[in-house]
Amino acid sequence: MNVTVFAAREQDRPQAAALAKRLDAELTVNEAEALQAPLALRIGEEGLSLVGDGMVLRADFVSMLPRLRPGKLQGEMLVRAAKLKGAPSPKAFDATAGFGEDSLLFAAAGFDVTLYENDPVIAALLQDALERAKTHPELASIVKRMHFHEGDSIGALKRMAEADSADEMPDIVYLDPMFPARSKSAAVKKKFQLLHHLERPCSNQEEILEAALSVHPRKVIVKRPIKGPHLADRKPSYSLAGKAVRYDCIVPPPQTD
């Protein structure tokens, strides 16, 4: 999908030019022209935004602050699914980072998180959110534990498995493969429609699950639609379910020497 990059302010034009070059995207200084494109990346005072289909999407961690408060965070279903015993310095590997909200929950819960996002446009939006969060008084200490990489997480997991370094292995591998929107909310459907211009539903389910298991985590957590099938038809050890999604938790058997 072709993306057009434009700057809302003259002072943002150098950043827009650099981003367009990195993405091999069209650059314009005409906002009206940019908004006629199927997708546009807008750089402005509020950061980097994705514009298309009558919607504006922006990765933003500030809106998640209420969920990070004491008494709220531990009630998050993902945090409950990620609970481990005997892990004073837990590590998580988010193989499908998206806008990074779930990784933020991991980091707020004390995990050191490695994030991978393969789509360059989504990666740019996530990187922008991380940079803005570094200067926020309530988020800076949390995002310090988030280490972002643009690229293929399957390859990264395979390289990690080959290196077989105990210090690098994550305690948890988290998978949130793209799936078709099932919500009846028009806004949610539009959001997924916009993201589906960039990323298609996961077609390599077996490969990504096997890559996750290859690093011998204590747990693989897979986010699924509440009534969706198991990833790669792999029955989980147990699941935590909410109204719209569930977390399938796969607990591999302990390694033997």
Judged against a pLDDT cut of 80, whether residue 196 lies above it is answered with no
The mean pLDDT value for 137-153 works out to 98
CA distances from residue 28 to 8, 76, 244 in whole angstroms, order as listed: 10, 42, 40
Judged against a pLDDT cut of 80, whether residue 168 lies above it is answered with yes
Judged against a pLDDT cut of 60, whether residue 1 lies above it is answered with no
> Is there a binding annotation on residue 152?
no
Name the percent of the chain in helix, strand, coil, to the closest 5: 35, 20, 40
pLDDT in tens, 58-95: 999 999 999 999 899 999 999 999 999 988 899 999 99
Quote the pLDDT of residue 190: 58
Q: What angle do CA 207, 211, 216 make, to 5 degrees?
A: 145
* Integer Cα distance of 184 and 225 in angstroms: 13
Please, which pLDDT band fits residue 226 given cuts at 50, 70 and 90?
Answer: very high
Mean pLDDT lowest among 128-137, 194-203, 210-219: 194-203
Give the E-state strand segments of the chain in sequence order. 4-7, 26-28, 40-44, 47-52, 55-57, 91-94, 112-117, 146-150, 172-175, 219-225, 238-241, 245-250
Judged against a pLDDT cut of 70, whether residue 205 lies above it is answered with yes
* Integer Cα distance of 71 and 51 in angstroms: 35
Residue 1 and residue 197 in contact, taking contact as beta carbons nearer than 8 Å: yes
**Domains by residue range for the chain, with CATH:** 4-45 (no CATH), 62-250 (3.40.50.150)
How many beta carbons lie within 10 A of that of residue 85, not counting itself?
5
Name the residue among 94, 128, 98, 125 with its Cα closest to residue 112: 94
Judged against a pLDDT cut of 70, whether residue 184 lies above it is answered with no
CA distances from residue 1 to 5, 185, 191, 199, 223 in whole angstroms, order as listed: 13, 25, 16, 10, 26
pLDDT in tens, 89-141: 999 999 999 999 999 999 999 999 999 999 999 999 999 999 999 999 999 99
Residue 239 and residue 246 in contact, taking contact as beta carbons nearer than 8 Å: yes
